[in-house]
Structures are given as structure tokens and as C-alpha cells.
Amino acid sequence: MSADLIASRQSEVIEEFSLFDDWMDKYEHLIELGKDVPEIDSGKKTDEHLIKGCQSRVWLAADEQHDGTVTFTADSDAIITKGLVGLMVRVLSGAEAQAIADADLQFLDTIGLHQHLSPTGSNGLASMVKQMKLYAAALAARRS
């Protein structure tokens, strides 16, 4: 089940980050993750896919698969934001639409990065997650 998939991916990320107590080490890791996130297709780095945070910009593309799962790709012009959107994609991409819509994304909180997800946050992450869920919810509704 996709809900389990999302949960187990979250646990994976939590475990991965549990290696770092130090704030700076954690961010060092996040930066590495950000560098590893493949750039989004330039064809998708368009205004249509842009989510404008007040500071960094995020691009998000969602693709519906035949089996009812959703594939996400995402990018950002700030590397830390890119690391964060990469984590979100890693946790959610490929799961079933309904599971994405229902997902309880506690992991950022657990690894001590929840401030980046605050609704008044300036990096665009919160808006991106909102959009991922809206997209998945719409899709799930359409299919049911």
C-alpha cells in the first residue's frame, strides 16, 4: 500500500538525518542532497510550473501514471530549497494519488527542519506541498 510506502520513506529520511546532531552537519547533508537532485527538464522550468515563494523559486511538475500513481519532479534556484524539495519528491513521488493527498508529512518536523514548511515561509516549499496534495486529491477524485 502506498500509504505504507510514504511512511517507510519518511522513516528512511529520518534515519538518514539522525546521523547529524549538529545543525551545520545537517545542512551540509541537505546541500549535498540538493546538488544531487537532477535539474528539472528545461521544458518544465517555465512559469506554468513555477511556485513563487517570496525568496527562492520552486518548479514542480506532476505526471499522472496509468496505474494511478503520481510522479513528481521539482527544482529550485536555491540549493537548500532544492534539497528540501528533493526530499519531498523522494517521499511522495510514485505513490498513489489518494495516499499523497492523505499523507501526514511529519518527517521534516522530526528531523528539525519544520521551519522551512511554515505556511508563511518564504522559500515556496509549503506552497509546493500544498500543490502536490491538491493535484493528487483532484486526480484521486477523478478516478474514483
Partner 1 sequence: MTHSSLPERIRRDFPILSRTVHGKPLVYLDNAASAQKPLAVIEAQREYLSNYHANIHRGAHHLAQLATEAYESTRQKIANHIGAYTTDEVIFTAGSTDAINLVAQSWGRTNIAEGDTILVTQMEHHANIVPWQMLCEEKRARLIPIAVHPDGTLDLDDLDQALRQHEPKLVGVVHASNTLGTINPVEAVCRAAKAAGAITVVDGSQALPHLAINMQTIGCDFYVATGHKAYGPTGVGFLWGRKALLNAMPPWRGGGEMIHSVSFEGTTYNEIPHKFEAGTPHISGGIAFGVALDWMNGIGLESIHHHETELVHHAQSALETIPNLKVIGTANQKVGVVSMVVDGHHPYDLGTLLDGQGIAVRTGHHCTEPLMAHMGLSSGTLRMSFAAYTTREEIDRAVIALERAINMLN
List, by residue number, the catalytic residues: 54
- Residue 39, phi-psi category: left (phi > 0), alpha (psi -120 to 50), beta (remainder): beta
Site string for partner 1, 32-51 (x = CB under 8 A): --------------------
Q: Measured from the CB of residue 110, what is the shortest distance to partner 1 in angstroms?
A: 17
Asked if 20 touches partner 1 (CB under 8 A), the answer is: no
Give whichever of 76 and 93 is closer to partner 1, judged by the CB atom.
Answer: 76
- What is the chain's length? 144
Q: Measured from the CB of residue 71, what is the shortest distance to partner 1 in angstroms?
A: 26
Asked if 81 touches partner 1 (CB under 8 A), the answer is: yes
Give whichever of 18 and 115 is closer to partner 1, judged by the CB atom.
Answer: 115
**Cα-based angle 108, 114, 119 (whole degrees, multiple of 5):** 120
User: Per the structure block, which three cell numbers stand in for 88?
Assistant: 519531498
Give whichever of 7 and 20 is closer to partner 1, judged by the CB atom.
Answer: 20
User: How far are the Cα atoms of 18, 28, 118 from residue 15, in angstroms, in the given order?
Assistant: 5, 16, 23
Beta strands, E only, 65-122: 70-76
User: How far are the Cα atoms of 27, 82, 85 from residue 54, in angstroms, in the given order?
Assistant: 21, 15, 16
47: DSSP letter: G
Site for partner 1 in 57-76 (CB under 8 A): none
Q: Measured from the CB of residue 37, what is the shortest distance to partner 1 in angstroms?
A: 14
Which residues sit at the interface with partner 1, rule CB under 8 A?
23-24, 27-28, 31, 52, 54-56, 77-81, 115, 118-120, 122-123
